[in-house]
Amino acid sequence: MKLFISLTPRQTHKINPLIHSTFFEYFGSVIYDGIWVGKDSSIPNVEGIRKDVITGMKEAGIKGARWPGGCCADHYHWKDGIGEKRYNRLHPMPGKVKVWRHEFGTDEFFTFCRLTGAEPILVANTATGSPSEFLDWYEYVNGPEDTLYGSMRASAGHPEPYNVKYWGLGNTDENVWWIDYDNPVAYAQDYLRFLTVIRDLTKDLHIIGLGLSQRHNTPGWVGKYLDHVTRQKRAKGPDSLSIHHYIGSAKGNYKNCGGAVDFTDDQYYNSLDAISTYQKDIDLHRGYISDHTNPKYKTTICFDEWGMWHDEASWENETRQRQTLRDAIFAACSLHVFYKNSDIVELAMETQLTNLLQSLFETRGEECVRTPTYYVFKMFKNHLEGNLLTVNQNTENPMLDYVFSMNGEGDTITATLVNKDLYKPCTISLDLDEKWEISQSHIIHTENVRTQNSFSEPFNIVDGEFPQKNMDNITLPEHSITRFVIKRTQ
């Protein structure tokens, strides 16, 4: 197969770095052990945060962090997590951990962001919190030192405001149905109430309102929410709409995806085919957005929870799951969907950073394993800030999935290609003139697609060197992910 690559970057499709974001919250050992070990821990840490996770976040090119949830945002009362003395509180959410520890709170989250270079994305508790509690938090985070909560932040050693731009108002309609978020107008009213407490302060903020979650089956929910908000002529509508969507056997619609490690060939293909629902979600939200275009700003999409959720990741098992090469291929193809829609997808968060669902790291005390998904992010990070390139092919192969992008200087092309076929390699040639040459080639591939990275065998799946320098007759092995960095030579 020949791939014809147009060298004109698509200016409308710049790949926003925040498409490589993560999210984490207070479930199982996601934060305690996975991120926070405390300053006195024997586990190597910087200011209480695991060193291996800090290094790994940077190496994987993770550019944004969403916190405190997820569902936990709907129950988070931020004042529990500031000050010298922190108390445990009851944890009302599913799972074995029934005590909510608060050593990791607002200031620790910003320490994490400073150390990893991640853009902070905060989610307000519109479910069980109040607008005034939100105002206090906003003031603690963004207020000057001469305000009540700004001065508390200063006393905690942070005189400068954190200047957070990204604020989610609510997590999802999915877990708060007791308070009627099935009703879009009920959510719209909360959205407006929370926005009103910071009124004119919202101008330079990026507000994320709810879009569709997976459970959602109220027809037209997003449209009705946007109708209500945009009817208030002077209110700021959402700068992004959030989408939550998990694929895998734990989720009703995707029983046909098999187990985390035990899956049939058909179940492998079913899980990859299901990624087309991510495209459908985006198309649906595009429609809602274009019906409610506000000339003052452009609404984008924040795909703020995505990943595979296998049936072994139950709440009893602290939603931990094993990952195989299939999870890496799933992550690669999902990222491709977000890049291809980078004119409207501005943020996306893989779920979650550590020890839960499609994590980047699995930790257990001293040990820290980089998952197959981690290696995909690491290999794909060259796409960030690049513009999408148009590519045509001379034959069809539905098993091949790829994205090509060009950096801002116009001297580097990054190509990532997935051969989904379980048995057949795929041979391609890149149609580029002699002014270009491959400078780096990497591959994620193992003979068995069910191979995993585990505590006992952490390096089964890594990003290895791929001995390919020539642009003709490149053979992409079966079930593999390849990346080429192609440089202009003259």
What amino acid is encoded at 219 in this protein? P
Q: Does position 69 bind ligand AHR by CB under 6 A?
A: yes
CA distances to 15, 341, 410, 413 from 6, rounded to whole Å, are: 17, 18, 12, 11
CA distances to 64, 187, 313, 464 from 211, rounded to whole Å, are: 20, 11, 25, 38
Cβ burial 327-353 (10 Å sphere, 16+ → b, else e): bbbbbbbbbbbbbbbbbbbbbbbbbbb
Tell me 196's DSSP state. Answer: H
Least spacing, CB of residue 70 vs ligand AHR, in Å: 3
- Please, which residue, 218 or 264, has the CB nearer to ligand AHR? 218
- Please, which residue, 352 or 355, has the CB nearer to ligand AHR? 352
Q: Does position 71 bind ligand AHR by CB under 6 A?
A: yes
Stretch that binds ligand AHR, among 37-45, 67-75, 188-196, 447-455 (CB under 6 A): 67-75
Block residue for tokens 């988070």: 76
Q: Does position 462 bind ligand AHR by CB under 6 A?
A: no
Q: Does position 354 bind ligand AHR by CB under 6 A?
A: no
Q: Are 282 and 412 in contact (CB under 8 A)?
A: no
One of 171, 321, 416, 480 touching ligand AHR (CB under 6 A): 171
Least spacing, CB of residue 416 vs ligand AHR, in Å: 26
Block residue for tokens 């959030």: 242
Q: Does position 34 bind ligand AHR by CB under 6 A?
A: no
Residues 200-239 that bind ligand AHR (CB under 6 A): none
- DSSP string for 69-85: -SGGGGG--GGGG-SS-
The C-alpha angle with vertex 436 and arms to 431 and 440, in degrees rounded to 5, equals 100
- Please, which residue, 171 or 482, has the CB nearer to ligand AHR? 171
Binding residues for ligand AHR, total number by CB under 6 A: 13
Least spacing, CB of residue 354 vs ligand AHR, in Å: 12
- Please, which residue, 268 or 309, has the CB nearer to ligand AHR? 309
Q: Does position 172 bind ligand AHR by CB under 6 A?
A: yes
- Please, which residue, 26 or 402, has the CB nearer to ligand AHR? 26
Q: Are 437 and 447 in contact (CB under 8 A)?
A: no
- Please, which residue, 139 or 174, has the CB nearer to ligand AHR? 174
Q: Does position 406 bind ligand AHR by CB under 6 A?
A: no
Residue among 296, 294, 295, 250 nearest 274 (CA): 250
Q: Does position 305 bind ligand AHR by CB under 6 A?
A: yes
Q: Does position 351 bind ligand AHR by CB under 6 A?
A: yes
- Please, which residue, 69 or 143, has the CB nearer to ligand AHR? 69
Distance CA 393, CA 250 (A): 37
Spatial strand order of the sheet with 474-476 comes to 391-393, 2-5, 426-431, 474-476
Least spacing, CB of residue 214 vs ligand AHR, in Å: 8
Q: Does position 70 bind ligand AHR by CB under 6 A?
A: yes
CA distances to 76, 115, 150, 467 from 105, rounded to whole Å, are: 10, 15, 16, 46
- DSSP string for 206-235: EEEEE---TT--STTHHHHHHHHHHHSTTS
- Please, which residue, 25 or 136, has the CB nearer to ligand AHR? 25
One of 173, 174, 362, 421 touching ligand AHR (CB under 6 A): 174
- Please, which residue, 170 or 237, has the CB nearer to ligand AHR? 170
The C-alpha angle with vertex 225 and arms to 219 and 231, in degrees rounded to 5, equals 130
Residues near ligand AHR (CB under 6 A) are 25, 69-71, 171-172, 174-175, 244, 305, 351-352, 357
